[in-house]
Amino acid sequence: MAEAQASPSHPAHSPPHPRDPLAWVLALTGLFALLTGWRLAIPSIPYFDEVHYLPAAREILSLFTEGQGAYLNREHPLLAKLLIALSMGVFGDNPLGWRIMPWLCGMLAYFAAVRTLWYASADRFATLAFAVLLATGFHLFIHARIAMLDMVMVAGLCVAAWQFVGACAQPETGRRRLALTGIAIGCALGAKWNAIPLAIVPGLTFFIARALAGRRRLLLSRRGAPVPGITLVEAFVWLGIVPLVVYALTFLPGYWLAEYLRPSPLAEKGLIGFHRDIFALQSQLMTPHRYMSTWPQWVLNLRGIWYLYEPIDGAQRGVLLIGNPLTMWLGLPALLWCLARGVWVRDWARLGAVIGYGASLGLWLIAPKPVQFYYHYFVPSFFLLAALALACSDLRRLPRGRWLAWAIPAASAAVFAWFFPIIAALPLARADAYVAWMWLDGWR
């Protein structure tokens, strides 16, 4: 029997359409939730920057339960401390109550980041490789288990990226997703100002893409990238006005938080005046710290921070913030590869990873903050690992690269397992047990 001839509408060799790995992503998110939630209440005392944020959260909780509270930790916005106070109100002023909100935000950030890469690349292998690399990259695991502001900020940024890239990939859902993007950006800013460089990226991307389309009615045209059906004016509302409104709303409880026996400094100075105080506190000279570091040290993973190292809960325990050595170092050539390939074939997923890395790291090259720490590399590490996952996908297409594409995520998991005792506060055999993991002097 003669074979049927292919028609233009049904080509004989149509390109394969990758299946959405949503079920796998949900399963991996569940596994990551179990891993990070295990022994979440250990250590049973506040450690590292929890000693700054928990008192501020207690005062917020006191405002809602007793009608009065002091305005502490004024150098940062309120949202993350509000959420920690909420979890303390529900679960109690105990280690679980302190950390369950950052843990929930960690799961949200993980799921949203992986979905972002899927919508950006439509690459099933890269998406699942990224899920493994992100779960085993140290940064997200550690910050999902400590009551710091960073995890709330990162969750907001990841949701914003997920929704914005989803709007570009599925324009029929564009309006809803752009609205959610704006809300998430406002929440990220309301947690910590470190979100500012990435907060402007969606709006700037929309403007540049629409301007390059060469439309005569630039402001009101609904045609063209990145989200057909949305005008530039409407995009400005969702990506410019909504984030600022949401950000301002996060300060509402601050109008009732007194400062010792005086009225609230926010009520006295107003929102704009109060922000001058925040900026002054952020940029003031600080006493040099033993764990202070610079951005080249972050990039090369040369300087870590001991969040904890002391006898607690019946054993010697430690939490060391470094990046996974394997993936932090392999990610650097992966970024260069993504830049070269992205420019050569106009691959926006790969270029997006490079641009996001540069934008999030670039803040710390110009920030008027003299004392900086490795945890500021938290956000850039997401883009670094995304670039590595995309590079692994490219390796997989090479005749002799397939085994390496699988080996890199597997090796990342193995390195994570080796370091697990000193990133998860497991009991250590003796006080000097940390030496076994000190590959570099800068980690001590």
Contact 414, 420 (CB under 8 A): no
Nearest to 125 by CA among 11, 12, 13, 16: 16
Q: What average pLDDT does the chain have?
A: 91
Nearest to 155 by CA among 29, 266, 60, 244: 29
How confident is residue 218, by pLDDT bands cut at 50, 70 and 90?
confident
pTM score over 0.85: yes
pLDDT value of residue 338: 97
Nearest to 415 by CA among 395, 439, 381: 439
Paired tokens of 200 = 């402007």
Lowest mean pLDDT among 74-83, 269-278, 312-321: 269-278
Given a cut of 60, whether residue 6 has pLDDT beyond it is: no
pLDDT value of residue 167: 96
Query: pLDDT, tens digit, for every residue of 7-53?
Result: 433 444 444 678 999 999 999 999 999 999 999 999 999 999 999 99
Instruction: Enumerate the β-bridge partners of residue 259.
Output: 262
Query: pLDDT, tens digit, for every residue of 98-150?
Result: 999 999 999 999 999 999 999 999 999 999 999 999 999 999 999 999 999 99
Q: Give the span between the Cα atoms of 331 and 309, in whole angstroms.
A: 29
pLDDT value of residue 261: 55
Paired tokens of 387 = 């670039």
Given a cut of 60, whether residue 294 has pLDDT beyond it is: yes
Q: Give the span between the Cα atoms of 25 and 16, in whole angstroms.
A: 21
How confident is residue 258, by pLDDT bands cut at 50, 70 and 90?
confident
Nearest to 41 by CA among 305, 307, 313: 313
Contact 354, 342 (CB under 8 A): yes
Q: Give the span between the Cα atoms of 165 and 51, in whole angstroms.
A: 37
Identity at 393, one-letter amino acid code: S
Given a cut of 70, whether residue 3 has pLDDT beyond it is: no
Given a cut of 50, whether residue 398 has pLDDT beyond it is: yes
Dihedral pair phi/psi, residue 388, rounded to 5° = -65, -40
Paired tokens of 291 = 């764990």
Residue of higher predicted confidence among 117 and 213: 117
pLDDT value of residue 285: 57
Write a three-state SS string for the chain.
Answer: CCCCCCECCECCCCCCCCCCCHHHHHHHHHHHHHHHHCCCCCCCCCCCCHHHHHHHHHHHHHHHHHCCCECCCCCCCCHHHHHHHHHHHHHCCCHHHHHHHHHHHHHHHHHHHHHHHHHHHCCHHHHHHHHHHHHCCCHHHHHCCCCCCHHHHHHHHHHHHHHHHHHHHCHHHHHHHHHHHHHHHHHHHHHCHHHHHHHCHHHHHHHHHHHHCCCCCCCCCCCCCCCCCCCHHHHHHHHHHHHHHHHHHCCHHHHCCEECCECCHHHHHHHHHHHHHHHHHHHCCCCCCCCCECHHHHHCCCCCEEEEEEEECCEEEEEEECCCHHHHHHHHHHHHHHHHHHHHHCCHHHHHHHHHHHHHHHHHHHCCCCCECHHHHHHHHHHHHHHHHHHHHHHHCCCCCHHHHHHHHHHHHHHHHHHHHHCCCCCECCCCHHHHHCCCHHHC
Whose tokens are 């992503």? That residue is: 25
Query: pLDDT, tens digit, for every residue of 141-188?
Result: 999 999 999 999 999 999 999 999 999 999 999 999 999 999 999 999
The radius of gyration of the chain from alpha carbons, rounded to an integer in Å, stands at: 23
Average pLDDT over residues 400-410: 92
Query: pLDDT, tens digit, for every residue of 318-357?
Result: 999 999 999 999 999 999 999 999 999 999 999 999 999 9
How confident is residue 366, by pLDDT bands cut at 50, 70 and 90?
confident
How confident is residue 385, by pLDDT bands cut at 50, 70 and 90?
very high
pLDDT value of residue 286: 66
Lowest mean pLDDT among 28-37, 221-230, 350-359, 364-373: 364-373
